[in-house]
Amino acid sequence: MDPIVADWISLALRWAHVMVGIMWIGTSFHFIWLDASLRREQGMPEGLAGASWMVHGGGFYRASKFLVAPPEMPADLHWFKYEAYFTWITGFLLLAVIYYLGASDLLIDPRVMELTPWSAIGISVGGLAAGWVVYDLLCRSPIGDRTGILAFLVFVLACAAAYGFTQVFSGRAAFVHIGAFLGTIMAANVFFIIIPNQKKVVAALVAGQSPDPALGKRAKQRSLHNNYLTLPVVLMMISNHYPMMFEHEHNWLIVVGILLFSGLVRLYANLKNSGASGSPVTAILFYAAMVGMAAIGYASYRPGADLAAVGPVTIADVQAIMAHRCQACHSATPTDIAYRVPPKGIAFDTRDQIERMAPQIERVVVLTKAMPLGNKTGMLPEERLKIAKWLSDAETEVE
Ligand code: HEC
């Protein structure tokens, strides 16, 4: 496909994906919050779990929850499902346009594993599908009734996905895949469990029978899992702008930290919303901060290279290396067929352009090895050292 056309399609899909994703997560957060804010009131009829008063946009709202269902089918019932479906569909198309069409650039990193584009795409699709199957089996097994053990096993499954994807794909693609893996579980929960169970409840109501409470309970369990998965999914989806997370020898461990951190933050928020307080609740925030700082520290630690042995490096040497390793893509007229314009508008055609980008070059060449993308142009370790030396000399000059 023409790279410019691919860019426009990717922009349209990304816009749509972010929009429907906001709607999905917005409703999901609202309903979890609503559930937690329900209070029993004096004289409230038996079938009601509670009610919540809200004020928004110049008016007061009162929502009450029926457990399991109202005695009769309401005339006008609103469903929330298309947000989830369209988030998954636009997300998968985006994954295909960016990572399947650009598999050799973005999905595959020969330093991680030498794959052909088709085998990489096969692993991607297979991995996402397998994630749902394993997760669903866990929930349906006898463990499904033990909330704590189930939560722990879902966490282990997410860690296994993090480990697995980082062993086969480029760091950037692996992180997006971990997000897609969890996002697929979330959307499939809505499609295969939550909505069908709600439909069964509605059908029972219409038939004048009393619905099975287990249906609502199971849907609620999946919905709570979705609530816990939201934070890590969103972080994984925006992670590709931050090589300091995905360009790390043990990048999957950083993902484990992210999962723990966001799980604790969600736990805290959910407890708070349901009215809990006191030092055990506040302590959760403290644990989250500890995990977060440990993950940041671990991700940031990069042993400095020994530059003493590297001889003097001139800007001409740097220009020669960049011409060789970067300009195929980063030039006003890229020669790499995947680009018609330099990625992110970054070109290294002149000395001035290189000098102005020095801090970014340090980030992607020295501190991480995010560039060249997938090391497509075969940059050598000694070339990275030379760039590091040039940057450190430039720094001493400024001081
Ligand atoms: C195969 C093509 C390709 C090669 C070769 C390549 N880059 Fe890139 N570069 C990209 C793409 C694509 C992006 C945009 C990535 C994104 O959107 O996050 C990028 C982004 C960047 C960025 C911006 C990163 C950010 O997070 O904003 C810098 C800086 C950069 N490249 C430097 C380099 C340097 C230095 C080299 C040579 C050592 C190099 N690139 C080689 C394709 C390439």
Q: Does residue 335 have its Cβ closer than 6 Å to ligand 1?
A: no
- 7 CA distance to ligand 1 middle (Å): 16
The residues near 67 (Cβ < 8 Å, ≥ 6 apart) are 47, 48, 49, 213, 216
Residue 365's pLDDT is what? 93
Report the pLDDT value the prediction gives residue 70, as an integer from 0 to 100. 84
Q: For a pocket test of ligand 1, which of 241, 247, 324, 344 has the largest count of ligand atoms closer than 8 A to its C-beta?
A: 344
Q: pLDDT digit of tens for each residue in the chain (399 aa)?
A: 777 888 899 999 999 999 999 999 999 889 888 988 898 888 888 888 899 999 999 999 999 998 777 888 888 989 999 999 999 999 999 999 999 998 988 999 988 999 999 999 999 999 999 999 999 999 999 999 898 899 999 999 999 999 999 999 999 999 999 999 999 999 999 999 999 999 998 898 888 888 888 888 899 899 889 999 999 999 999 999 898 899 888 999 999 999 999 999 999 988 888 788 889 999 999 999 999 999 999 998 877 778 888 888 999 999 999 999 999 999 999 999 888 889 989 999 999 999 999 999 998 999 888 899 888 899 999 999 999 999 988 877 665
Could you tell me if the CB of 365 is within 6 A of ligand 1? Answer: yes
| Start-to-end CA span in the chain (Å) | 48
Q: Return the pLDDT at 375.
A: 87
Sketch the domain layout of the chain as residue ranges: 3-300, 315-398
Burial grade of 297 (CB within 10 A; 0-12, 13-18, 19 or more): exposed
CA-nearest of 241, 239, 230, 269 to 23 is: 230
222-254 pLDDT per residue, tens: 988 999 999 999 999 999 989 889 988 899 999
The pLDDT value given to residue 208: 84
pLDDT of 399 reads: 54
Which pLDDT score, from 0 to 100, does residue 69 have?
Answer: 79
CA distance 360 to 349: 16
Substitution candidate for ligand 1 out of 106, 330, 340, 385 with most atoms within 8 A of CB = 330
Task: Check if 241 has its Cβ closer than 6 Å to any atom of ligand 1.
Answer: yes
Global pTM? 0.87
Longest alpha-carbon distance in the chain = 86
Atom of ligand 1 nearest to the CA of 243: 26
